[in-house]
Structure 1
């Protein structure tokens, strides 16, 4: 099995603050989710979209799958995305995260590759910026899929952090020092949660 073939875009969520479904966000006259997918294609052979509105992706060239457990939050989407992925490690982002850092993705691949070589790989690879854990733009092992599903069925807490803490999954964090050293772009962690966020992002794009 390839180590880094697959990426997953989570397109679920209620989008209550945006007041419309964020998987239909349009930026520069293109669906944002497809712009994200195109960026990910530079690094991954397979891009999977997790959406409970599969009918809206009839002519989509990407694999589209739906949650097996409904109304369980992003963990449910991660579980099914990992299930259908074709690589040992899977890069996961959300459909409202417009920015990608190519150098960061390749750095993580190299970091994980070294850990695999020396038999010290972790279950999850994320970033911790200013003491804040960034749960997306990170790699998760494919074999976490069943554990996540079991946790959601049996547990009461549905957060990603509660899953890996309670299930004793090992996590490696990219640190502030690494971000500063390699000049990675922290704006990859921006979410477009509100119409104001979208307006401000479009203004930035216009001046690039």
Structure 2
């Protein structure tokens, strides 16, 4: 089994703050999902998309799967992806994170403990842009049976390596590699910044 060959992209969620399904976000008339995939294809042998609308990915060469444990939020998506993964560790990110930082991903690979690695900012943990082990499948199932869904609280009980803010900022001083496009305003700010960087 390969150690770090898999990337899981979560494309579920209600996207209520955005006003439409974020897996269909477009930047320069191209779906953001496809831009994210193209950045990750050279780093990972296997890309798994966890979506509640698999019919929109017909013809895509990557693996498409749905939640096994329904209505469990992002943890349900992580669980489904890890069940399908061929690698011991999978890189997990969300479909609304446009700034893929390959150098940081490689750094995280080198700083992974038994269950994975994630980034910590004081008491805040970034649950995406993280590596998780297939060994998390059973703990996730057990945790979800308690009716809890917080990824952060689950990770607190697992052997996860936390990369601290000062180290992460070496790769992303502005912290933009953790940007989520949650609202129309987030999207507008991001698109304007993209236009400025290209001008």
Find the aligned partners of 2:136 and 2:93 in 1 and give their Cα distance: 16
1:74-119 residue CA offsets vs partner (Å, 9 max, x unmatched):
000000100101111110000111111111011111223xxxxxxx
Counterparts of residues 1-208 of structure 1 (less than 5 Å): 1-112=1-112, 121-152=113-144, 154-165=145-156, 168-180=157-169, 182-184=170-172, 186-208=175-197
| Structure number with higher helix proportion | 1
Residue 207 of structure 1 aligns to a residue whose secondary structure is helix
Structure 2, unaligned runs of 5 or more: none
> 1:122 offset after TM fit, Å?
2.7
User: Does the CA-based 8 Å contact 2:111-2:161 persist in structure 1?
Assistant: no
User: Does the CA-based 8 Å contact 2:2-2:86 persist in structure 1?
Assistant: yes
User: Does the CA-based 8 Å contact 2:47-2:63 persist in structure 1?
Assistant: yes
What is the total number of aligned residue pairs between the two structures?
A: 196
> 1:176 offset after TM fit, Å?
2.1
Find the aligned partners of 1:132 and 1:111 in 2 and give their Cα distance: 19
**TM value normalised by structure 2:** 0.93
> 1:61 offset after TM fit, Å?
1.6
1:117-157 residue CA offsets vs partner (Å, 9 max, x unmatched):
xxxx33130011254211110100012123212321x2121
Aligned to 1:116: none
Root mean square deviation, CA, Å: 1.4
Which portions of structure 1, spanning 4 or more consecutive aligned residues, are displaced by more than 3 angstroms? 182-185
Residue 36 of structure 1 aligns to a residue whose secondary structure is helix
Structure 1, unaligned runs of 5 or more: 113-120
